[in-house]
């Protein structure tokens, strides 16, 4: 049966081997994580979850809570926006140092930079690796210890973690565009900054903007998560409401969070259309 299948579909055997390898790798992970979905159907757990979910409706809408929700929402937006602004201040120069798109030796050697030119980029790449290797929630925990509870810890955590991500992706975007305009400018004696502004940036701007707005959206989600460790915003208020089993307040904050993500997606589309 397998031979007949293999005769009609040459990819059958590779697919089968890939499936077996995936299951073999996944099964130990499932066992180590002690995954047991049946716990959700335990009578006590079902009763607790049912009581909590029953309190989700109607949504909390009293004036005092709405004022608190509005302030927490603005704080979440401020954390994500300020963190992204600081991340860009770090990521943009770091991405230029890490990319070979503006290498003079590459322009004179048909795209192959000299070994010493590549070696000079490794410190910038190593810094970007360090910055993005630690999740923002861990940075938030560290900064909460350093600067105390509040949005400052969230801003710094997003700035550090996202600068590494933005720097890496931006450097790769620079190298993915057509290199001929930048090489022509460099060969004509222009500065690297001029070659970047006139040879690379016009081609890369749309993709950079799209990824930057996507990261801002991720920053909104991350700022909510970091609120659970004391970094302010919607997350901190949601943590307090969950501790008090205030399901209506939690539901209102979840709806607000969904609106924020939808707003970020609409802004991303509008900006891309504007650059198209």
Summarize pLDDT for 160-172 with one digit per residue, the tens: 999 999 999 998 8
Instruction: Please name the helix (run of DSSP H) or strand (run of DSSP E) that holds residue 239, with its range, or none.
Output: helix 233-243
- Buried b / exposed e across 234-256, counting CB within 10 Å, b at 16+? bbbbbbebeeeebbbbbbbbeeb
At 1 the pLDDT is: 47
Distance CA 238, CA 252 (A): 10
Are the CB atoms for 102 and 182 separated by under 8 Å?
yes
Report the percent of the chain where pLDDT is more than 70: 86
Q: Report the interhelical angle of 136-147 vs 151-176 (nearest 10°).
A: 140
Tokens 């969904």 sit on residue = 258
pLDDT digits (tens, 9 = 90+) for 218-227: 888 888 888 8
The whole-angstrom distance between residue 185's C-alpha and the CA centroid of its chain comes to 34
At 82 the pLDDT is: 92
pLDDT at 21 over 90: no
Of residues 203, 167, 206, the one with CA closest to residue 88: 167
Tokens 């930057």 sit on residue = 212
pLDDT digits (tens, 9 = 90+) for 189-236: 778 888 888 888 888 888 888 888 888 888 888 888 888 887 777 888
Distance CA 65, CA 250 (A): 11
pLDDT at 3 over 70: no
- If you average pLDDT over residues 174-178, what whole number do you get? 84
Please, is 106 exposed, middle or buried when counting C-beta atoms within 10 Å of its C-beta (0-12, 13-18, 19+)?
A: buried
pTM: 0.74
Rg (CA), the chain: 25
Distance CA 231, CA 250 (A): 18
Are the CB atoms for 166 and 135 separated by under 8 Å?
no
pLDDT digits (tens, 9 = 90+) for 109-163: 555 655 555 666 778 788 888 888 888 888 888 888 888 888 888 899 999 999 9
Pick from 22-26, 99-103, 246-250: least confident: 99-103
- Buried b / exposed e across 56-69, counting CB within 10 Å, b at 16+? beebbeeeebeebb
Greatest pairwise CA separation for the chain in angstroms: 76
pLDDT at 6 over 50: no
């Amino acid at each position: 049966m397998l031979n007949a299948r293999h005769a009609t579909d040459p990819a059958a055997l590779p697919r089968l081997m890939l499936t077996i390898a995936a299951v073999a790798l996944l099964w130990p992970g499932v066992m180590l994580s002690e995954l047991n979905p049946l716990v959700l159907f335990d009578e006590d757990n079902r009763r607790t979850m049912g009581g909590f979910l029953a309190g989700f409706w109607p949504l909390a809408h009293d004036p005092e809570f709405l004022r608190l929700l509005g302030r927490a929402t603005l704080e979440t937006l401020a954390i994500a926006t300020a963190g992204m602004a600081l991340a860009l201040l770090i990521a943009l120069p770091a991405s230029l140092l890490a990319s070979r798109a503006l290498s003079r030796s590459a322009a004179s050697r048909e795209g192959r930079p000299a070994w010493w030119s590549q070696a000079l980029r490794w410190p910038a790449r190593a810094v970007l690796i360090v910055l993005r290797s630690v999740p923002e929630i861990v940075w938030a925990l560290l900064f909460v210890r350093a600067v105390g509870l509040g949005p400052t810890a969230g801003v710094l955590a997003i700035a550090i973690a996202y600068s590494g991500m933005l720097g890496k992706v931006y450097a790769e975007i620079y190298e993915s565009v057509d290199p001929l305009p930048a090489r022509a400018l460099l060969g004509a004696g222009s500065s690297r900054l001029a070659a970047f502004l006139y040879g690379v940036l016009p081609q890369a701007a749309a993709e950079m903007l799209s990824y930057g707005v996507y990261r801002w959206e991720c920053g909104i989600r991350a700022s909510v998560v970091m609120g659970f460790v004391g970094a302010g915003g919607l997350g901190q208020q949601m943590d307090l409401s969950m501790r008090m089993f205030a399901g209506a307040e939690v539901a209102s904050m979840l709806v607000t969070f969904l609106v924020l993500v939808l707003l970020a997606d609409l802004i991303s589309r509008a900006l891309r259309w504007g650059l198209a």
